[in-house]
Amino acid sequence: MSTDSWEAVLQRLDDAATLSGVDPEIHRMLRFPRRLLEVSIPVRMDDGHVEVFTGWRVHHNTVRGPAKGGIRFHPEVDASEVSALAASMTLKTAVAGLPFGGGKGGVRCDPTTMSDGELERLTRRYTWEISPLLGPDIDVPAPDVNTDERVMAWLMDTLSMIRGHDLPGSVTGKPLAIGGSPGHAGATAVGVMVCARAAFDQLDMTMAGSRAVIQGFGKVGGPLAFLLTSAGMRVVAVADAGGAVHNPGGLDPSALSDHVVKTGSVVGFEGGDAITESDMWSLDSELAVPAALAGAIDKRVAEHLGAKVLAEAANGPTTTDADPILDERGIVVIPDILANAGGVTASYFEWAQGRQGFAWDEDTVAVRLRASMDSAFANVWAKADALGVSLRRAAFALAVERVADAIEARGLFP
């Protein structure tokens, strides 16, 4: 991702500010991240030499609460991408009605080439370098691309050692053994499912017998395939970095998951035929879900997309030049700041449990997650109706209004 990612966020932010009619001075404030920290991360590799990586932690806006956002390890991550993702988190937490602001972190590295020991040393040194920005009341990281609960455990342990006391509320997406929350792992997929079902209801479509295509079969796409199949949908195609498979009768998500565990990719799955990712997007379907990296739905894909509803499980999967094409074709887009907010909502629940020192049971988490996502979708749908605009424009407008309300209430210091 390049500076285009930040420019895309600014375009949508500018449009939302115009739609909602917020004070131009507040709009101007939202066009700049509050703070951006860039750090060098020296790590002694297994062969004894020292490699120096670059990392970032960005706070976009924190008027509604502590910064909240994941940390990604990826060879192409940069300051622009992290800033754009932090701004999206400001808007996402506002849409979801959570008491958080927007943050994001990243380290430019290729974790697939690193040993467990190298990854741990990288994580702990990165945590040390950004530690002035972290804490339960300041900034609460979570897993993102190429990071997981193990990385979060190292981060929490390092920060606890620095501060001299246990800080379970300083990070979410932790293992259950150290204060993680049941239901966190699949929460993003659950949120996408709730939004897709709500959209189908509004459009008088039925899920049973409908077809879905999914790009990505990882932490979100994998669980989502199970959820959609359980709802009676046929997941007719799935793509990942290696390629794509197609079965018009529906792929078996359990068998596909076993295949991916064994081979590392959906490619070669005997329960489906090989297909290109481009052809997958063109398949006739009721639901399409980009659940991988940004920019998947570009102008070319938008022109040939065969789905009626697009649910953005990934962050920033649709380019700005694709939006008007999707609108013109009547494709309903459930934007990322709404569709994938299940993950940050579950993170809020975990943070709250850490602050309370009281663990909720899995049923409580599940019920509250569904209720929160249903409410967020209903609010955005109502806003879209009131303004006569797409769900994306409505979601951004609603988010900007909520952040603006908080800025106005707090005032400007000094």
Whole-angstrom Cα distance, residue 301 to residue 293? 15
What pLDDT shows up at residue 166?
Answer: 95
Identify whether 68 is a catalytic site residue.
Answer: no
Q: Which residues of the chain have pLDDT under 70?
A: 1-3
What pLDDT shows up at residue 214?
Answer: 98
Which among 202, 200, 205, 215 has a CA at the least distance from the CA of 282?
Answer: 215
What pLDDT shows up at residue 4?
Answer: 80
- Compute CA distances 233 → 187, 193, 248, 260, whole Å: 19, 11, 12, 21
Q: What is the dihedral of CA 7, 54, 298, 311, to 10 degrees?
A: -100
What pLDDT shows up at residue 102?
Answer: 98
Q: Is the dihedral of CA 296, 276, 286, 300 positive or negative?
A: positive
DSSP category for residue 242: S
Report the length, in residues, of the chain.
Answer: 414
What pLDDT shows up at residue 2?
Answer: 46
Q: How many CB atoms lie within 10 A of CB 313?
A: 29
Domains and CATH numbers, the chain: 34-166 (3.40.50.10860), 187-334 (3.40.50.720)
Q: Packing angle between helix 3-20 and helix 391-410, nearest 10 degrees? A: 80
Chain centre distance of CA 46: 32
Contact predicate 396/379, CB 8 Å: no
Q: Which of helix, strand or coil describes residue 54?
A: strand
The two three-digit tokens of residue 336, written as one number: 């990322």
The two three-digit tokens of residue 212, written as one number: 């879905």
267: β partners? none
What pLDDT shows up at residue 1?
Answer: 40
Q: Which of 92, 104, 219, 383 is catalytic?
A: 104
Chain-wide mean pLDDT for the chain? 96
Q: In what order do the strands lie in the sheet with 50-61?
A: 35-44, 50-61, 101-108, 67-74, 139-143
Whole-angstrom Cα distance, residue 360 to residue 187? 15
- Compute CA distances 150 → 73, 123, 160, whole Å: 13, 10, 15
Contact predicate 183/362, CB 8 Å: yes
What pLDDT shows up at residue 3?
Answer: 57
